[in-house]
């Protein structure tokens, strides 16, 4: 039990700084633009470069990690992304910053691909949803801390200091992760091959879970990109106020949704093998009504309550989705499975939604564009139905 707690704590804090380092860049955008004379398209390219490298590298690391001791990949990934974040501090122009940002995508893509299956295999199946939801708390917490720490340190000591400060803990955690042991690696009868990726794409419940999560990621990415602008445009508050409000919603709603979703999925799974899918469906059903109510609310309070509910619901299935992915794949290919998952959810999710919502906003206004984006919950529900339909629903 103590060993499991150590594994959880190390991986949780690695995941926390994974998101802190990832989001700190956005907090210092204005400072980078001023000092390095960057255009808006260059700032956007820095974000896109990370995501493209992140999702394209995942299939490679997934294949390699399932053929070797995964704790080595966890440790190496932490060193890589921490080094890359440190290199951002030393960047003197756009090209150097772009290369460092791409290297960050390699490090963080490697960690995210390996960490969840590695963690889950140290706990019984009945606890997967709660444990993975607790692990997932690092997403809203780390994202909010990335904005807060990056902005505060950058404001007082400059953007170079911001990157340096958030990078250092990653090196310490990387050293500590060297004590992790991948016991499952020694019990594998055979190593996976590249053709396992084709088999994963033919695994219907797994594929439909990925598509369900892609719809959630689409809406989550769209909200993250455009809700602050919506608050400025329709409530006539300033940018600082909008950022503070949305940051508060993210950390409170994201943490609450992730934690509650883990407890709900664990409770429902104890009652029925469809528990994970019921949790996903509950979240998807609730999103669109609250999104519509928030967009047409006449007061700031009403709008914030509704948007808070949307954020809670978007984060609610975090643990259930991860547990379902593990439940539908063999232990020998789980890193590969999460690599495929990462590629699908970002390709069809938050890599698309900010641009599509912005384009729709140009023609139909931002309020209508966000509501249209909320309609992805409908195919999300259908994919969720198909996932449980093809899943051999037996608890074991």
Q: How far apart are CA 263 and CA 323, in angstroms?
A: 12
pLDDT tens, N- to C-terminus, the chain (396 residues): 567 788 899 999 999 999 898 888 877 877 888 898 988 778 777 877 888 888 888 888 887 877 777 888 899 999 999 999 999 999 999 999 999 999 999 999 889 888 888 888 888 878 888 888 888 888 888 888 887 788 788 888 888 999 999 999 999 999 998 878 766 554 555 566 667 788 888 899 999 999 999 999 999 888 887 887 788 788 877 766 776 777 788 888 988 999 999 899 989 998 888 999 999 999 999 999 999 999 998 888 888 899 999 999 999 999 899 889 988 888 878 888 888 898 899 889 887 888 788 888 878 888 999 999 999 999 999 999 999 998 876 544
Q: Domains of the chain: which residue ranges?
A: 1-179, 193-396
How far is residue 322 from each of residues 86, 193, 392, measured CA to CA in Å?
31, 23, 17
Count Cβ neighbours within 10 Å for each residue of 225-258 and write b for 16 or more, e otherwise: bbbbbbbbeeeeeeeeebbebbbebbbebbbbbb
Instruction: Give the architecture (CATH level 2) of 1-179.
Output: Up-down Bundle (1.20)
* Cα 256 to chain centroid, rounded: 16
Cβ atoms within 10 Å of 202's Cβ, excluding its own: 9
What class, spelled out in words, does domain 193-396 have in CATH?
mainly alpha
pTM across the whole model: 0.78
């Amino acid at each position: 039990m103590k060993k499991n707690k150590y594994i959880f704590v190390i991986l949780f804090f690695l995941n926390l700084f994974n998101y802190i380092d990832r989001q700190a860049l956005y907090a210092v955008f204005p400072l980078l633009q001023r000092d390095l004379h960057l255009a808006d398209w260059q700032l956007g390219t820095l974000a896109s470069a990370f995501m493209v490298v992140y999702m394209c590298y995942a299939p490679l690391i997934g294949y390699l990690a399932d053929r070797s001791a995964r704790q080595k990949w966890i440790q190496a990934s932490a060193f890589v992304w921490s080094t890359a974040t440190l290199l951002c501090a030393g960047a003197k122009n756009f090209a150097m910053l772009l290369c460092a940002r791409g290297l960050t995508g390699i490090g963080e893509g490697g960690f995210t691909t390996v960490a969840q299956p590695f963690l889950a295999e140290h706990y019984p199946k009945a606890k997967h949803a709660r444990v993975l939801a607790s692990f997932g708390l690092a997403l809203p917490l780390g994202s909010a801390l990335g904005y807060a720490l990056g902005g505060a340190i950058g404001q007082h000591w400059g953007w170079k200091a911001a990157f340096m400060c958030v990078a250092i803990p990653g090196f310490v955690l990387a050293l500590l992760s060297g004590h992790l042991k991948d016991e499952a690696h020694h019990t594998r009868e055979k190593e996976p091959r590249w053709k396992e990726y084709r088999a994963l794409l033919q695994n219907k419940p797994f594929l439909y879970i990925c598509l369900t999560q892609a719809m959630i990621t689409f809406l989550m990415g769209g909200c993250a990109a455009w809700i602050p602008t919506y608050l400025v445009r329709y409530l006539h508050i300033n940018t600082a106020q909008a950022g503070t409000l949305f940051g508060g919603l993210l950390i409170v709603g994201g943490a609450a949704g992730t934690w509650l979703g883990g407890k709900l999925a664990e409770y429902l799974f104890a009652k029925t093998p469809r528990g994970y899918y019921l949790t996903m469906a509950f979240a998807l059903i609730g999103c669109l009504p609250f999104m519509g109510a928030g967009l047409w609310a006449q007061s700031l309070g009403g709008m914030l309550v509704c948007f808070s509910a949307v954020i809670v619901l978007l984060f609610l299935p975090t643990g259930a989705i991860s547990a379902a992915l593990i439940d539908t794949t063999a232990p020998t290919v789980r890193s590969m499975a999460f690599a495929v998952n990462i590629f699908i959810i970002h390709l069809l999710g938050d890599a698309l939604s900010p641009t599509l919502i912005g384009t729709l906003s140009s023609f139909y206004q931002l309020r209508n564009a966000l509501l249209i984006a909320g309609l992805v919950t409908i195919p999300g529900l259908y994919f969720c139905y198909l996932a449980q339909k093809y899943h051999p629903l037996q608890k074991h």
